[in-house]
Amino acid sequence: MMRVAIRIGSAAVMAIVLIIAALWAWESAPDLASDMQTGRPQAAIWAARSAALAAAALAQTILLYFVVGRIYPRRTLDDALRLCFGIACVLACVSAIALGMAAR
């Protein structure tokens, strides 16, 4: 019982940290792009914002799997949402990498 509580608590803390990092990255994307001094600052801004979306999707996946999945019984909707969040995270990571490379 104690291990489950520790897992839930640590997953919740990790998700909160990821959400805070995502919000910070989204807000400070123009500053990050200007610090990089790239040829295309708009692409660098969207690269940072895509990375923020990836972090937010990962946080939602962690919350759904480790926190909600441990408290409530698992249903088909939970599996579908977890799959959608995972796909969103992967697509946002690929977009962030592509935009970061295009910004050079």
Q: Give residue 35's pLDDT.
A: 87
| pLDDT tens for each residue of 41-56 | 999 999 999 999 999 9
Q: What is the pTM of this model?
A: 0.88
DSSP assigned state of 57: H
The CA-based diameter of the chain, rounded to the nearest angstrom, is: 54
| pLDDT tens for each residue of 56-101 | 999 999 998 888 888 888 889 888 998 999 999 999 999 999 999 9
| pLDDT tens for each residue of 3-55 | 888 999 999 999 999 999 999 999 999 998 888 888 899 999 999 999 999 99
Alpha carbons 95 and 51: distance in angstroms, whole number: 8
Domain range for residue 98? 2-103
State the total domains in the chain: 1
Tell me the DSSP string of 67-97. Answer: IIHHHS---HHHHHHHHHHHHHHHHHHHHHH
